[in-house]
């Protein structure tokens, strides 16, 4: 493995050694299987409850039935050893549906909420990459790892609200900053934010980062999820120039050796993994 740095600058970074890695496709399939199981648990518990209510000699109040429905679904999810948040979702989903029906919540609200979630999360379902934002310290730590007195071409893959681009542009004014974001609402919000702040050295592209070539960047930053890391690393190795930096916030590339690991020392307790792109043979 490479060097650990206690949140400070590093004098030099060693070469990385990409090794064979477990399939990120498998991780993605596992995540999909979890959501399908949670859905199956809801279906089974609903059918079981409908059967029970049909033959029960006394009536059950709707909210009681909804909680029982949720309890059965959550028990199934627990028995299938799905992650903790699936128990919570499975338990609360039927009572929330019952409450919405009891309060006569207009269906337009659900449609509206669905649309906003779609524009916000876009490919989160397929790509297994949710939205969360880098903390402010990240830019300062990144700056400490950059070569001094050199114009910088920097990309944030999945740039969210553009905070990393703005932070880097403030700290290293002599640079060009590109965000690549495919969620329409985030793209629009970050364009507006950059325009309002007059950040001329920053741009955001509405594109999937898989379709964006990394050839021109000195530093590529990603804060995504464990799922795409192996494939993204392969893309970085194929497209980035030798000696340039690939940085992942929190999610290490499976079985590849980082050049440097820098703790962010914020409330998330996360870590930056820095990989120096090796010379191609």
* Interface ranges with ligand SAM (CB under 6 A): 122-123, 127, 129, 131-134, 156, 158-160, 163-164, 180-183, 186, 208-210, 223-224
Question: Nearest approach, Cβ of 74 to ligand SAM (angstroms)?
Answer: 28
CB atoms < 10 A from the CB of 236, how many? Answer: 23
Question: Nearest approach, Cβ of 213 to ligand SAM (angstroms)?
Answer: 13
Distance CA 27, CA 24 (A): 5
The residue among 56 and 133 lying less far from ligand SAM, judged by its C-beta, is 133
The residue among 77 and 165 lying less far from ligand SAM, judged by its C-beta, is 165
Question: Nearest approach, Cβ of 133 to ligand SAM (angstroms)?
Answer: 4
Give the residue among 203, 194, 205, 151 at the shortest CA–CA distance from 173: 151
Cβ contact 273:261 at 8 Å:
yes
Question: Nearest approach, Cβ of 198 to ligand SAM (angstroms)?
Answer: 20
The residue among 90 and 159 lying less far from ligand SAM, judged by its C-beta, is 159
What is the 3-class SS of 217-228, one letter each residue?
CCEEEECCCCCC
Distances in Å between the alpha carbon of 41 and those of 38, 70, 275? 5, 9, 42
The residue among 181 and 218 lying less far from ligand SAM, judged by its C-beta, is 181
The residue among 73 and 164 lying less far from ligand SAM, judged by its C-beta, is 164
Cβ contact 5:267 at 8 Å:
no
Place of tokens 């600058």: 9
Nearest to ligand SAM by Cβ — which residue? 158
Question: Nearest approach, Cβ of 123 to ligand SAM (angstroms)?
Answer: 5
């Amino acid at each position: 493995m490479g060097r650990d740095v206690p949140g400070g600058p590093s004098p030099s970074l060693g070469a990385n050694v990409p090794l064979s890695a477990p399939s990120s496709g498998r991780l993605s399939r596992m995540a999909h299987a979890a959501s399908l199981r949670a859905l199956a648990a809801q279906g089974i518990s609903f059918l079981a409850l409908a059967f029970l209510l049909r033959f029960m000699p006394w009536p059950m109040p709707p909210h009681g039935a909804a909680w029982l429905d949720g309890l059965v679904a959550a028990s199934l999810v627990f028995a299938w050893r799905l992650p903790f948040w699936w128990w919570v979702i499975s338990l609360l989903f039927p009572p929330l549906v019952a409450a919405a029906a009891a309060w006569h919540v207009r269906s337009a609200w659900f449609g509206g909420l669905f649309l906003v979630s779609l524009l916000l999360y876009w490919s989160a379902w397929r790509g297994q990459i949710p939205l969360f934002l880098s903390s402010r310290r990240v830019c300062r730590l990144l700056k400490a790892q950059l070569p001094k007195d050199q114009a910088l071409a920097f990309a944030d893959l999945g740039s969210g609200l553009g905070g990393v681009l703005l932070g880097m542009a403030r700290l290293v004014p002599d640079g060009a900053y590109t965000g690549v974001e495919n969620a329409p609402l985030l793209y629009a919000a970050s364009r507006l934010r950059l325009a309002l702040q007059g950040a001329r050295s920053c741009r955001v592209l509405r594109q999937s980062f898989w379709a964006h070539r990394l050839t021109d960047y000195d530093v590529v930053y990603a804060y995504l999820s464990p799922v795409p890391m192996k494939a993204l690393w392969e893309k970085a190795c194929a497209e980035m120039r030798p000696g340039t930096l690939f940085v992942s916030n929190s999610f290490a590339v499976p079985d590849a050796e980082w050049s440097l690991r820098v703790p962010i020392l914020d409330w998330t307790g996360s870590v930056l993994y820095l990989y120096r792109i090796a010379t191609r043979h």
